[in-house]
Amino acid sequence: MEAMNGNNTELKQSQKRKHLNTLLVLLNCLLMSIGQIGGPVLLRLYYVHGGKRKWFNAWLLTAGFPILIIPIAVSFLHARAKGYQGKFLVTQRLVVASAIIGILLGLDGYLYSFGLSYLPVSVSSLLGSTQLAFTAIFALIVVNHKFTHYSVNAVVLMTMGSVILGLHMNSNRPSGVSHGKYLLGFFMTLSAAALHGFIMPAVEYTHLKAGMAITFDLVMQVQFLISMFATVFCTVPMIINKDFQAIPREAVEYDLGETKYYLILVMAGICMQFLIIGSLGVIFCSTSLLGGLVSSLLVPMQQLFAVVFLGETFNAEKGMALAMCLWGFASYFYGKYKESRKLQVTKQDPVNGEV
């Protein structure tokens, strides 16, 4: 009887952890959605109306990291209320890993910011969606996620979408942007997608090698460190370029006025921090591949917001690239669905592979 009660308790605890994990995944997907849709529109708005500071724009991507103190403090107080001692869970190895990933994230932010200064959001988001292809490749190398013909199909389709955009640069080029600058922005954005595609499996690898249970507290603390190191990395060139002294002057000269200048920057910083929190949270609570899938699924919404709020055109080339992006996403998603179903059946009957 005691053994049965023990098994029931363990089963309830397991179900509770599963439900909590599902809730965290959904919450992080929501934060990721807000950040990925709102962030690029606001950052592009900064450039369109007179903003010129690329390192400052990159700094904004992670500068909102102090907001993470709120959930960390709430969790700490909750633990104290239950009689537990709240503590710093991150080991020395995780601090080093967080520093390396943070520096890469800061560099990724600069590449993305540079590309966005010359590209419309609609083009930037389509190029950024290729991170799923890069994530699939690096996930194979870093955490040994296997390739299937579905994932190969997704990689090929998304690559073709980028090629279509590249072959029709002049039709997408904003007024006042030279062909050379547009080309540079194009490849900088692709480089940002590739680097981000590496960062996501690297975070998952850190999770696998953490040597401890992945809890909400640990996730928040690691996210805080990664964003902090990324912000510090971007702060150094900002000091060298004297960006902090230039911000007040830029605000006065901004087309939409000084108040809206600061409002756009604050909102952009919050949105991009939501994106960072959501992206890292999805990886820690699930896998890097899910993060890539959610990011690709949000591309159509980015297109819609760019057309509505920035007045960007949506031509045939963008339509074809978007269709290939969605086709690649559907292929990849279906492949992962079949793989999970096959794994579930195998677990239920490892001999016959049948239920």
Centre a 10 Å sphere on the Cβ of residue 299 and count the other Cβ atoms it contains. 22
CA-based torsion, 326, 327, 330, 336: positive or negative: negative
Q: In this prediction, what percent of the chain has a pLDDT beyond 70? A: 80
**Per-residue pLDDT reduced to its tens digit, 116-131:** 999 888 788 778 777 7
**Per-residue pLDDT reduced to its tens digit, 275-288:** 878 877 787 777 66
At 328 the pLDDT is: 75
The residue-averaged pLDDT of 284-293 equals 69
The residue-averaged pLDDT of 249-276 equals 91
Residue 139 has pLDDT above 80, yes or no: no
Band of residue 355 on the pLDDT scale cut at 50, 70, 90: very low
The tally of CA atoms less than 13 A away on the side-chain side of residue 200 is 34
Residue 18 has pLDDT above 60, yes or no: yes
CA 31/CA 276 separation, integer angstroms: 9
Q: With CA atoms as reference, report the closest residue to 129 among 272, 291, 313.
A: 291
At 249 the pLDDT is: 94
CA 72/CA 259 separation, integer angstroms: 31
Contact 265, 47 (CB under 8 A): no
**Per-residue pLDDT reduced to its tens digit, 226-247:** 999 999 999 999 999 999 999 9
Comparing 68 with 346, the larger pLDDT belongs to 68
At 110 the pLDDT is: 95
The whole-model pTM stands at 0.78
Residue 1 has pLDDT above 60, yes or no: no
CA 291/CA 35 separation, integer angstroms: 13
- DSSP code per residue over 183-227: HHHHHHHHHHHHHHHHHHHHHHHHHHTSSS---HHHHHHHHHHHH
